[in-house]
Structure 1
Amino acid sequence: MKAIILFGHGARDPRWREPFDRLATLWRDQHARTLVEVAFLEIMKPSLCDAVTSLTIQGVTQITVVPIFFGQGSHLRNDFPKLLEACREKFPKIILSATHAVGEDLAVLQAIIDFSAKVP
């Protein structure tokens, strides 16, 4: 069974996670056969390891982590690979992979342009 994890930075303000929860809800509505969890690098819960744990309990064997970051900053170049490797070590039977940061995708950039073009 496959799943995705929507992975964000985290913040002190609990409202910051609302877009992540909306993304997860949209995913569930459109891709009900593939489980989704949110996870955060720091401050907020669940952590990446917690989300992987939750998914493995549900029988998932393959997880793709989608970093919801605008680009490849220090967190994605340095911290994220270490967290991902720690999860791989803890769950050696789970296939864990990751995409590039969503902000590096041309379709996402175009969506921002399209949104901005609607501004009066």
Structure 2
Amino acid sequence: MTSAILLVAHGSRRPEANADLYKLAELFKTEKPESHVEIGFLELTEPTIPQGLSKCAEHGATSIAILPYFLSQGTHVAEDLIRFRDQFQEQFPQVECYVCPPIGLHSKLVELMLHRLDEGTRSHQQQQKTS
């Protein structure tokens, strides 16, 4: 079985916002060298989710994990990604395709948010000292 991972983000008109998904894909390629890794954006930019799924199939994937780079189980994850998966499966019934859970509330996320809080507080305090 040839596995693939499609990392999915919302998409933005700001290239800087989209760059995170490209960087994440590079990290996944290093951490999961046995899997083919592609990206897809829900809207506003390319590659789209259907384009990313097609690239996975073209690469010979027999199994594709759609991995949302979303925080919660909102409409995009609960409905839109399922719709894209179902449309892809109609076109490529021989390829197993499934949607993974979003990032969600996880102990590592709490740890990260506390870290970001500390960074923001330190930065604010530094700005107050220099003004």
Q: Same fold (TM over 0.5)?
A: yes
Residue of structure 2 equivalent to 1:110: 110
| Normalised TM-score (structure 2) | 0.82
Q: Distance in 1 between matches of 2:69 and 2:115?
A: 18
- Equivalent residues of 2:6, 2:40 under 8 A apart: yes
Residue of structure 1 equivalent to 2:55: 54
1:19-63, Cα deviation, whole Å (9 max, x unpaired): 101101111122212111110111111111111111111111000
Identical positions, percent? 24
Unaligned runs of 5+ in 1: none
Residue of structure 2 equivalent to 1:12: 13
| Normalised TM-score (structure 1) | 0.89
Residue of structure 2 equivalent to 1:77: 78
Residue of structure 1 equivalent to 2:128: none
Residue of structure 2 equivalent to 1:66: 67
Higher-Rg member (1/2): 2
The structural deviation recorded for 1:114 is 4.8
Please, which moves more after superposition, 77-86 or 89-98? 77-86
Q: Distance in 2 between matches of 1:7 and 1:87?
A: 15
Instruction: Check 1:105–1:33 CA distance in 2 against 1; reply closer, same or farther (3 A cut).
Output: farther
Report the RMSD for the aligned CA atoms in angstroms.
1.6
The structural deviation recorded for 1:108 is 4.2
Please, which moves more after superposition, 110-119 or 52-61? 110-119
Instruction: Check 1:48–1:26 CA distance in 2 against 1; reply closer, same or farther (3 A cut).
Output: same
Alignment size in residue pairs: 119
Q: Distance in 2 between matches of 1:112 and 1:47?
A: 29
Q: Distance in 2 between matches of 1:101 and 1:108?
A: 14
Runs of 4+ in 1 over 6 A off after TM superposition: none
